[in-house]
Amino acid sequence: MSAGHPLVRAFHKYIEGTIDYRIGVLGQVDAGKSALVSTLAGADTHVSTQTDATRTISSHKYGMRGRILDFPGVGTMEYSPKQYKKLIRKADLSHVLYVFSSKIREADEEIIRFLAKKKVGIIFVYNKADTLVDVSGTREREVLMHDKDTELHVTFKKYLDQPLKYHFVSVRDESGIEGLKAALQPIFESKDKEFDERTHSAEYMEKFLNKRLNTLAAKLLSPGLKDIILQRAYRSIEEMTQAHFEVTPEDGEIIGRPIPRAADYIKKAKETDGTGMKSKEYLSQLATLFGTVFKLRKLNVISFIVSTLGEAGIKNIYPVLKGTFEYVGDMNDFARRVLKYYGREQKATFE
């Protein structure tokens, strides 16, 4: 779809909201998580020698749509494993990086067992790999890394059915960063694939349009509509609806269908209203039409008409509301056609 069109942008934003594009960065205190997040996200990196000062979860953009969440460290007075589990539950993540910079601690074991039980995908990271040295100076770094991998495997093999090896990285010299990004790539690619499928899904398009309709209904059924009806300011209804759907008459020229006009529907409703129905019958028909177009409870429109517009006379109000509801229904169809047009245009571009 042409991402430049405001309706398409709104649709894409809605689709993004239906997909979990987040990866959490959890782990030990003073493991350099925030610096690692900044490096991955491409932000200005500040390597601090102080202890981890992160006290809340911060979100950072990653790539086109991804988000990386920077968690505080586990095992502090403020964030015991019990409190940390509450953070994890609230975030409700599907994938995490768990960052170490020292030996596995009891708090780490408890959190990782918790993540395994929740079936959260875990990528293990050993940060500050440039500082991984043997105090005796007799063992090479590769041997020390192998020992760390062995410790990880032995500790968690009972709980995790996945390769148990670290991604050894260093923010200071950027070693291992590209390899870690490569490990993240399949996760975000799968989410991008899901995004593409949903942007071309009739089901998700209808969900998006129905959500738009529901919020438009709240705008229409407001005390301000009474003044619009009494003043016959039907252009206001049109402007509000076009702005809400983010479409213009120019879109009609592009898709080959003139944009609906509110006054035309209201005029037609007035011309065909010669039934002489009783007030209750008018209300019933309006409620049925409202429920069909907006997919909301009929009681909403009945109570609104009676409490807000009743004094103007149901018979006088009926054709205006009937025409307005029919107009909004066709505007919804117009917006659907605009989305489909740009969807076909995008598909043709990539074929």
Q: How many helices (H) and strands (E) does the chain have?
A: 14, 6
User: In the prediction, which pLDDT does 220 show?
Assistant: 80
126 φ/ψ angles, rounded to the nearest 5 degrees: -110, 105
Whether 228 and 236 have beta carbons less than 8 Å apart is answered as yes
HSE-CB for 242 with a 13 A CA cutoff: 17
User: In the prediction, which pLDDT does 351 show?
Assistant: 44
Cα of 339 vs its chain's centroid, Å: 19
The beta-strand segments (E) located in the chain are 22-27, 58-62, 66-70, 95-100, 121-126, 167-168
User: In the prediction, which pLDDT does 171 show?
Assistant: 93
Q: State the CB neighbour count (10 A cutoff) for residue 205.
A: 20
User: In the prediction, which pLDDT does 350 show?
Assistant: 42
Say which residues have a Cβ less than 8 Å from residue 110's Cβ, sequence separation at least 6.
81
Whether 148 and 104 have beta carbons less than 8 Å apart is answered as no
User: In the prediction, which pLDDT does 224 show?
Assistant: 77
Whether 79 and 87 have beta carbons less than 8 Å apart is answered as yes
User: In the prediction, which pLDDT does 46 show?
Assistant: 42
Residue 218 CA: distances (Å) to CA of 215, 221, 302: 5, 5, 14
Whether 164 and 157 have beta carbons less than 8 Å apart is answered as yes
d(CA 328, CA 143): 70
User: In the prediction, which pLDDT does 275 show?
Assistant: 64
Sheet with 58-62: list strands edge to edge. 58-62, 66-70, 22-27, 95-100, 121-126, 167-168
Q: What share of the chain is helix, strand, coil (3-state, %, to 5)?
A: 60, 10, 30
d(CA 246, CA 8): 9
Taking the alpha carbons at both ends of the chain, their separation in whole angstroms is 13
Cα of 162 vs its chain's centroid, Å: 29
Closest residue by Cα to residue 167 from 155, 177, 153 = 177
Q: Which residues pair with 68 in a beta bridge?
A: 23, 60
Say which residues have a Cβ less than 8 Å from residue 157's Cβ, sequence separation at least 6.
164
Residue 307 CA: distances (Å) to CA of 120, 223, 310, 312: 51, 10, 6, 11
Instruction: Supply 252's token pair.
Output: 């009609």
User: In the prediction, which pLDDT does 309 show?
Assistant: 60
Per-residue pLDDT of the chain (351 residues; tens, 9 = 90+): 456 899 999 999 999 999 999 999 999 999 999 999 999 998 644 444 334 444 678 999 999 999 999 999 998 888 999 999 999 999 999 999 999 999 999 999 999 999 999 999 999 999 999 888 776 665 788 999 999 999 999 999 999 998 899 999 999 999 999 999 999 999 999 999 999 999 999 999 999 999 999 888 888 877 777 778 778 888 989 999 999 999 999 999 999 999 999 999 999 988 886 666 777 788 888 888 888 888 766 556 677 666 666 655 677 788 888 899 999 999 999 999 999 998 876 654 444
The phi-psi region of residue 58 (left if phi > 0; otherwise alpha if psi is between -120 and 50; otherwise beta) is beta
| 3-class secondary-structure state, position 69 | strand
Cα of 337 vs its chain's centroid, Å: 23
